[in-house]
Amino acid sequence: MSGTLTRITLARRPAGAPVPEDFKLVSEPLPIPDTGDVLLEVTHLSLDPYMRGRMDDVKSYAPSVDIGGTMTGQGVGRVLESKTDGFNPGDMVTGMTGWASHACLPGSELRKLDPTLPPTTALGVLGMPGLTGWVGLHRFGKPKAGETLVVGAATGPVGSMVGQIAKGMGLRTIAIAGGPEKCRLATDTFGFDAAIDHRAHDTAKSLRTAIAEAAPDGVDIYWENVGGKPLEAVMPLMNVHGRIPVCGMIAWYGGANIAEDNQLPAMWRSILVKRLRVSGFIIFDHWDEYPAFLSDMGPKVAKGDIAYLEDVADGLEAAPAAFIAMLNGGNTGKQIVKL
């Protein structure tokens, strides 16, 4: 099969926040599938905060993207050619396609999509972000009815899943979000009991006062997506034996604000005296739980019992700008690129 593959590569390592010059759009002939491979045309790409870490040449839980390498990421697409059993032309599948118009992957690394659900749900609410919220809350948050949960970046695909699950289990749920519109979405769309606009507070102390008013009984679980000012604000409000699942720290990606936000001594003391359980986790360690997650949440999403939002950028060439905006809170819901 002849044709052209277009992909976005890492042109250089970012110095702090990524900029458009860190990416490059290149074209080349379509790959030829070998025995066991599947060639697919990508229809949608997922953009996620973890990709910022892959742009740095540092030791981490996963390899860095090489200079000139395709930006990593999950996609969904339509099978064009299959040289393995179980996949046929026209099937919709998902896998780690990278930021590219096409991908050639082993069939063992692809999963067929449920044709009754929109294919983009495999990238968000029923994909890696949804699984992250489901696993992290149950395994590390240990929620109990009557407790209070605070979620940073609460209207994103992870935070909104955490809030909805916790609300269904009888917890008081408090969202921290950026801007009045996202706060409205947190309460009206995702069902949080209260929402606090962190952008309306210049200091962690001011933000802490607002959280304390919304959580008069203290905070039992803080879902950490952000770091920075929200973490500093919440820590003194944590109850004894509170839990903090550490999912991300977007405020500090690229080294931003770490020096001025260095509250480590005070936070370390709170962890000790309040006997807090702080649990860092990477969802790639828990993919074995995906079937149970899909069995639990799939029917709820299909029935509309779990709400989700998608922010869709048009065209592969739009991916860098959408990614940069997402890291600055410019997206509303799960950031996706439609090819």
Tell me the pLDDT tens digit for each residue of 67-120.
999 999 999 999 999 999 999 999 999 999 999 999 999 999 999 999 999 999
Alpha-carbon distance 259 to 291, whole Å?
41
Q: Is the pLDDT of residue 4 over 50?
A: yes
Tell me the pLDDT tens digit for each residue of 66-76.
999 999 999 99
Structure tokens at 204: 């962690």
Binning pLDDT at 50, 70 and 90, where does residue 258 land? very low
Domain 4-124+309-338 shares a fold with domain 128-283? no
Q: Is the pLDDT of residue 256 over 60?
A: no
Alpha-carbon distance 29 to 51, whole Å?
26
Residue 55 pLDDT: 95
pTM: 0.90
Instruction: Give me the CATH topology for the region 4-124+309-338.
Output: Quinone Oxidoreductase; Chain A, domain 1 (3.90.180)
Q: How far apart are the first and last CA of the chain?
A: 20
SS3 content of the chain, % helix, strand, coil (to 5): 35, 25, 35
Structure tokens at 203: 């200091």
Where do the structural domains in the chain lie, given as residue ranges?
4-124+309-338, 128-283
Residue 128 pLDDT: 95
Residue 234 pLDDT: 95
- Report the top-level CATH class of 128-283: alpha beta
Tell me the pLDDT tens digit for each residue of 174-207.
999 999 999 999 999 999 999 999 999 999 999 9
Q: Which amino acid, 59?
A: K
Binning pLDDT at 50, 70 and 90, where does residue 259 land? very low
